[in-house]
Amino acid sequence: MTAPAPLPPAPARVLVLNSGSSSLKYQLLDPRAGVRLAQGLVERIGERSSRLKHTPEGGESREHIGPIPDHDAALKAVATELDRDGLGLDSPELAAIGHRVVHGGMSFTEPTVIDDAVLAEIERLIPVAPLHNPANLTGIRTARALRPDLPQVAVFDTAFHTTMPESAARYALDLGTADRYRIRRYGFHGTSHAYVSRATAALLGRAPEEVNVIVLHLGNGASASAVRGGRCVDTSMGLTPLEGLVMGTRSGDLDPAVIFHLMRVGEMSADEIDTLLNKRSGLIGLCGDNDMREIRRRVDEGDPAARLAFDIYIHRLKKYIGAYYAVLGRVDALAFTAGVGENAAPVREAATAGLEGLGIAVDAGLNAVRADGARLISPGSARVAVAVVPTDEELEIATQTYALVAERDSEKN
C-alpha cells in the first residue's frame, strides 16, 4: 500500500502592509513561528526618483531607484522582489494580507476582515484622519486588486484604546458639539501598546490579566498608555496623534488658547498652525534636532538649547508616569519601547529619577547594557519592574491577522 501524499503545508505567511501617502512599508512574516522572511520600503511613490529597498531575512538588501507612479506599481514591484526570493505573493503559503489602518474610530474595536462595507466605514472616518486613512485605503484597494481571492485584514491603531472608559475618552467639551463632530480621545500606537503590555507581562512570567503596566512608546511619535489587566484605560494621544508627550516634531499637550492666540495675534491660518504644531514643534522646534542621539551628544557638550529640549521632554514624561500611576492605583511594571525607549538609557534614567517613593527605580548598570530582547532594568528589590521591551508592530499585525483568518477557517470547516 502506498502512503498517502503528504498534505501541503497550511498557509501561514502574512504580508503586512503599511501604506502612507507616498510610501509603502511591508514585511512578510510567519507569525506562528514568529519569523520575519523579508521586509522593505518603497518611498517617493509618484516621483521620478522613487526608491525601493528590499531585504530578505538574513540576505543582502537590494535597492532600485526610478519612477514608480502609484501604489499599484509599488506593490507589483514589491511582488517581483519577493518572487526573486521564492516568496511570491501567488505562493499557496500566503494566508492573508494584514493592513495597518490608523483610524478605526469607535467602529472597529478588533482586527476586521475587509469587505466593501468595511472599506466604506474606513472611508467615512477620513474626516478624523485626513492624512492617514486615505493612504491606508489606497494600500488596501491595491492589494485587493492584486489578490482578490486572499483574505485582507485591517488592524487599527486605535482599536486597543477602545476599552478606555468614557471618563478618559471624553474631553470636557460641550457634548452636542463633541458628538456632532465625533470629537473624543481615540489614541494611537495601539498595536504597539497591546504587544508591549503583553510582552511585559510575559517577561514578568505572569498573565496579562494579572498585571498593570504603564507603556511608554517613545519613537519619533510618542505616547504613553495605562493598561490594567491587559486592557487600555488611558492613553496620551487624543483625537489625533498631536496630544500628550513631547515628540520629535509635535508639541504634545498645550493650552488650546495658544491656537486662538496664534490666529488673532500671529495672524496664522489653521493650516499654518497645524504645520507648526505637528512638524515644527516638539524637540525639533525647541533645539533644531529631533534625533535623541544628536540631542544627547549636544547635551553632553553643554549646549543649552538641547538641554532645555531634553528637560522639557523628560518633565512631560514624568508627569504622565505620575498621572497613570494614579489612574491605575497599583503599577506592576513600567515598559520603555520604540526607538528612544529601547535605546536611550539617559532618557530612561532621567524619566525615573526621584520616583523611588513610588517604588520606581532603575539600576544604572542594567540600564547601560545594550541588548536586543526584552529585559528588566530595575533592581531586584524594586516594587515596580522597569523594563525595556522592543516593540514589533508588524509581528503583532501579522499575529492578529493570522489568528482572525485561522478562526474564520475553523468555523467554516
Give the number of other Cβ atoms within 10 Å of residue 87's Cβ: 19
Give residues 187-216 in contact with ligand ADP (rule: CB under 6 A).
none
Work out which of 52, 292, 351, 382 binds ligand ADP, going by CB under 6 A: 292
Residues 6+ apart with CB under 8 A from 220: 247, 248, 249, 290, 339
Residue nearest to ligand ADP (CB): 339
- Least distance (Å) between residue 207 CB and ligand ADP: 27
272, 291, 303, 349: residue in contact with ligand ADP (rule CB under 6 A): 291
Residue 282 binds ligand ADP, judged by CB under 6 A: no
| 362 vs 43: CA distance, rounded Å | 39
Cell of 399: 499575529
Beta-carbon contacts of residue 41 (< 8 Å; ≥ 6 apart)? 23, 24, 25, 26, 51, 52, 53
Least separation in angstroms between residue 248's CB and ligand ADP is: 5
* Site for ligand ADP contains 248 (CB under 6 A): yes
In whole angstroms, how close is the CB of 165 to ligand ADP at the nearest point? Answer: 27
Query: Is 157 tagged catalytic?
Result: yes
Of the candidates 30, 157, 300, 311, the residue annotated as catalytic is 157
Instruction: Verify binding: residue 42, ligand ADP, rule CB under 6 A.
Output: no
Report the residue from 221, 238, 252, 285 that binds ligand ADP according to the rule CB under 6 A: 221
List alpha helices for 133-289, DSSP H.
Answer: 133-146, 166-169, 175-180, 190-203, 257-264, 270-279, 282-287
Helix 393-412 / helix 190-203 crossing angle, nearest 10 deg: 90
**Residue 343 makes contact with ligand ADP by CB under 6 A:** yes
Nearer to ligand ADP, 105 or 282 (CB): 282
Residue 213's Cβ-side half-sphere holds a number of Cα atoms within 13 Å equal to 33
* Tally of CB atoms within 10 A around 152: 25
CA–CA gap between residue 250 and residue 188 (Å, rounded): 14
CB of 343 to ligand ADP, least distance (A): 3
Q: Does 129 bind ligand ADP (CB under 6 A)?
A: no
Active site residues: 157
- Applying CB under 6 A, the residues found at the interface with ligand ADP are 219-221, 248, 290-293, 338-340, 343-344
